[in-house]
Structure 1
Amino acid sequence: MANPREPESPRGPFRFGPYTLARRIGAGGMGEVYLAREENPRRACVVKKVLPRLMENKQFIGRFRDEARVVVHLQHPNIARVYAMGEAEGQLFLAMEYVQGKTLSRLAYRMRQRGQVMTPGVILQIGIRLCEGLAYAHDARDGSGQPLHLVHRDLSPANVCISYDGELKIIDFGASQSTLKEQQTAPRVVIGNLTYMSPEQARKKFVDRRADVYSAGVVLWELFSWNPLPQKGEPLERWRKAAYPKWDPPSRYRTGVPPAVDAVVMKALSTEPDQRFPDAAALGAELARLKAKLAPQVTDEDVARVMWDAFAEEKAAEDAVLAELLGKDPSRALTEQAIPAKLAPPTALAFEHSGLEAPEDYVPGEDAPPAGAAARPAPAGRSETREARVSFGMDVAGDGDADVGMVEARRPQLVRDLEDDEEDMLTPAVESGADARRRWIWLALGLFLGACAAGFGVVWLLAP
């Protein structure tokens, strides 16, 4: 049954402004997502049409236009392009680069699934390119030459794409903070993936480029340790851990990690911003120094070989789809079967983020509250903290008073297909206190019944 929140769209290719929308990939929280072709110049892209109901929201429109003023200035090989943000035929839309590749999270999972490990040289090459993209964004200026003071704020392996050619592209600045934005995120909303979030951001303090340095450090820690970090769990507990993190060196989880690598990663992960690298350029310089010493021969071509090995079938399928898309008749092979959700380009969910909504003055304390207890009385008529689907700093998936279960249930299928991806099958969930108690109760009960059965068995065997 169709989701009542998802509008009906024409079948087959149709024109929309300067684009030919070849097929609807699905629908995210803020609108329909299409595989598309721009006609001049002819190139593949992803077009997202904003839902009509959001066109009536002045706050959303203001933030949309804020974002357009920022992303138009970002043109760098390590940042996925946003070609246009505007209005066509009475609808707001975003046109984004089609990045032919997979997210870093997908790559890491696929390699773990096959029992492979990512070599230090490849990790360092990925880290260097990641820092180059961040450094460019941090130093970006507007058309008048004024600095944007841009901070990504949601850097994670799911927002880093590796193309089949070995190019790294940061694929979403939709949660970014910038001086060009007139309408910043509401204080009650914490945007981003808590697993990779800097402590100051989790504590609702001022963030600058060093917050992205921290997130890059988490990404590097996960790759060097080859230890997948939890992506799910009780929101308040995950929020508290983000605000007050504790890290061990990567070498504790993976033998052979050089002490120099530990030192660089742990410096990037310093809780206090002043103790980290001052910017992504400085972190990138240290990674380049390490690579020159440990793996000077590694290049983007080596990253490409890793991608080809991991996703040979997917690449062949995408090559066929793109050949049809850019041909004379884009309808021939662009069927539902030709582009399953698992082949959707990573930019399909750009500008949509996970988030937490909590009372404006609430920040988690360093000590966790007792399991099952609220940190403070909840405001009348709503829970203490809830998860939400956020776009441009606003909850676009619901009405603002639903519980976590309802938020999960109403996530569009495309979101579930791409976000609840392979890595979630591998990554352990964070247990809540209640879950842990239940697990231990069942374990103790099982041991007790087993002991009873063994005792009865011994008595039966020894009976005359």
Structure 2
Amino acid sequence: MSEGIVGAGRTLGRYELLVPIAEGGMASVWAARMKGQRGFQKIVAIKQMKPELTDDPNFETMFLDEASLVSRLRHPNLAEILDLGEEDDVLYQVMEFVDGEPLNRLLRQSRGGIPVPLAVRIVKEASAGLHMAHELRDEDGNLVNLVHRDVSLQNILVTYDGVTKVIDFGVAKAMSNLQKTNVGQVKGKVPYMSPEQAVGEPLDRRTDIFALGIVLFQLITGKHPFRGDTDLETIMRICSKDPVAPPSTHNKLVPPELDKLVQKALAKDRSARFATMSEMQRALEVVLPASQQASAEDLGRFMQQHLGDRGEKRRQSIQEAGRALDQAAALSGGPKTIPPPISSRGRMQTLPPSARVHQDNVATVADFPGAASRSALAAPPAPSARSLGLDVSTP
């Protein structure tokens, strides 16, 4: 296998990498520029599998399965995969660029939970997107029984326009015509596992309902319903027969009907949960009086108030990185000059002053678990990701 190479200005097909969005042990995600005929441009996200993992058939299978599944999903509350490619034997996905932030970052900034109407809107939209995923059918019209298996704060984004997007189907599985996970093999984040997931039982869509119930509990209380001091303690609490305490125990503004809804989603016996995400969505639509329901504009304003500066800095860094590449191309006298890339070991080749790039550190994020090689690249006159406040760490 040849060593995969990624860096600012690197071209993957018709996509130019601009600035890093997130990086972790399995993959790195970059904002990129898609270029077409007659000056057409579009900002997308590129998710590239780490080159050191390409020889592992399990990781490659997960990456390809995600692309195969999500490319067939079309819903305003799901982030789309637009393309799949391979460069230097390293796979990459081209995804919709979502101008927003993950819920764990929003919850951290809001300190202690977010207003109940906003939380209800977020989870209602997430449930709509997940229901569409659960209803995915094959060419013969049969359900493929898709389960996300990793619904969490980290994998739900909210845009600055107030739209919710579910992301990262990297450990999702359909039970037919795709690679299957062996019974007893556990995948997903421990704090969001259902009881059946924690013990390795066969899963269905109600596992995602349980995880989304945890997300809702966290949003309206600022607390996790089962979190222990260790993963083992958390799993023991999840698997305990004791029902979860109502959210109003922690937040007196939670109405009784919402208490009941959350407890139903978090029933330890899956047969007592909502049968489908659509059923949960319908319950969320009527759990608050019409006068108390939040709009997309309300959610967008909340995002701007708490994280607007961060979003603006990211947009600015993307624009400046694009201008820097254009300037380097103009100075070279050719249609474009791509700066020499950074290797996966982080070594930088020598560049002429007009197109020099600088390394900076980017923190790892929970979306991609594990240790990460840290490098952020930007070509002058664009400042570095760190100097622009492009901190991609999550709690």
Under a length normalisation based on structure 1, what TM-score does the superposition of the two structures give? 0.67
Paired AA for residue 266 in structure 1: Q
Instruction: Tell me, yes or no, if the aligned pair for 2:33 and 2:43 is still in contact at 8 Å.
Output: yes
- 2:141 maps to what in 1? 145
In 2, Cα distance between equivalents of 1:294 and 1:340: 46
Is 1:193 the counterpart of 2:189? The answer is: yes
Instruction: Tell me, yes or no, if the aligned pair for 2:154 and 2:366 is still in contact at 8 Å.
Output: no
The secondary structure found in structure 2 opposite 1:287 is: helix
The partner residue of 1:208 within 179, 204, 209 is 204
In 2, Cα distance between equivalents of 1:328 and 1:336: 12
Instruction: Tell me, yes or no, if the aligned pair for 1:46 and 1:97 is still in contact at 8 Å.
Output: yes
User: CA, structure 1 residues 418+70, in 2 after alignment: closer, same or farther (shift >3 Å)?
Assistant: farther
Paired AA for residue 267 in structure 1: K
- 1:262 maps to what in 2? 259
In 2, Cα distance between equivalents of 1:203 and 1:419: 32
Paired AA for residue 172 in structure 1: D
- 2:65 maps to what in 1? 66
Is 1:322 the counterpart of 2:318? The answer is: yes
Is 1:92 the counterpart of 2:91? The answer is: yes
Shift of 1:255: 1.2
Shift of 1:306: 0.3
The partner residue of 2:168 within 168, 172, 192 is 172
Shift of 1:326: 5.7
Paired AA for residue 108 in structure 1: L
Runs of 5+ unmatched residues, structure 2? 329-354, 376-389
Paired AA for residue 147 in structure 1: L
Is 1:289 the counterpart of 2:303? The answer is: no
Is 1:306 the counterpart of 2:305? The answer is: no
User: CA, structure 1 residues 49+315, in 2 after alignment: closer, same or farther (shift >3 Å)?
Assistant: closer
Instruction: Tell me, yes or no, if the aligned pair for 2:113 and 2:220 is still in contact at 8 Å.
Output: no
Instruction: Tell me, yes or no, if the aligned pair for 1:28 and 1:412 is still in contact at 8 Å.
Output: yes
Shift of 1:79: 0.8
The 5 Å alignment of 1:21-32 reads 21-23=17-19, 27-32=23-28
Say which one has the larger Rg: 1
CA distances 1:178-217 after superposition (whole Å, capped 9, x unpaired):
1345332345542112212111111211211111111111
Q: How many residues align?
A: 349
Instruction: Tell me, yes or no, if the aligned pair for 2:31 and 2:45 is still in contact at 8 Å.
Output: yes
Instruction: Tell me, yes or no, if the aligned pair for 1:12 and 1:331 is still in contact at 8 Å.
Output: no
- 2:178 maps to what in 1? 182
The partner residue of 2:157 within 152, 155, 161 is 161
Instruction: Tell me, yes or no, if the aligned pair for 1:222 and 1:228 is still in contact at 8 Å.
Output: yes
The secondary structure found in structure 2 opposite 1:237 is: helix
- 1:371 maps to what in 2? none
In 2, Cα distance between equivalents of 1:420 and 1:316: 17
CA distances 1:357-395 after superposition (whole Å, capped 9, x unpaired):
xxxxxxxxxxxxxxxxxxxxxxxxxxxxxxxx4xxxxxx
Paired AA for residue 65 in structure 2: D
- 2:131 maps to what in 1? 135
Paired AA for residue 296 in structure 2: D
Instruction: Tell me, yes or no, if the aligned pair for 2:22 and 2:392 is still in contact at 8 Å.
Output: no
Instruction: Tell me, yes or no, if the aligned pair for 1:23 and 1:335 is still in contact at 8 Å.
Output: no
CA distances 1:144-192 after superposition (whole Å, capped 9, x unpaired):
5332211111111111101111110011111112134533234554211
The secondary structure found in structure 2 opposite 1:191 is: coil
In 2, Cα distance between equivalents of 1:144 and 1:39: 36
Instruction: Tell me, yes or no, if the aligned pair for 2:4 and 2:88 is still in contact at 8 Å.
Output: no
Is 1:221 the counterpart of 2:217? The answer is: yes
Shift of 1:307: 0.3
In 2, Cα distance between equivalents of 1:270 and 1:21: 45
The secondary structure found in structure 2 opposite 1:190 is: coil
In 2, Cα distance between equivalents of 1:19 and 1:340: 23
User: CA, structure 1 residues 160+259, in 2 after alignment: closer, same or farther (shift >3 Å)?
Assistant: same
- 1:274 maps to what in 2? 271
User: CA, structure 1 residues 336+125, in 2 after alignment: closer, same or farther (shift >3 Å)?
Assistant: farther
Shift of 1:290: 1.7
The secondary structure found in structure 2 opposite 1:85 is: strand
Shift of 1:42: 2.6
In 2, Cα distance between equivalents of 1:106 and 1:285: 27
User: CA, structure 1 residues 139+16, in 2 after alignment: closer, same or farther (shift >3 Å)?
Assistant: same
User: CA, structure 1 residues 42+242, in 2 after alignment: closer, same or farther (shift >3 Å)?
Assistant: farther
User: CA, structure 1 residues 89+127, in 2 after alignment: closer, same or farther (shift >3 Å)?
Assistant: same
The 5 Å alignment of 1:433-448 reads none
Instruction: Tell me, yes or no, if the aligned pair for 1:78 and 1:130 is still in contact at 8 Å.
Output: yes
Under a length normalisation based on structure 2, what TM-score does the superposition of the two structures give? 0.78
Instruction: Tell me, yes or no, if the aligned pair for 1:324 and 1:330 is still in contact at 8 Å.
Output: no
In 2, Cα distance between equivalents of 1:213 and 1:317: 35
In 2, Cα distance between equivalents of 1:334 and 1:231: 47
The secondary structure found in structure 2 opposite 1:45 is: strand
Runs of 5+ unmatched residues, structure 1? 1-6, 354-388, 390-409, 424-464
The secondary structure found in structure 1 opposite 2:74 is: coil
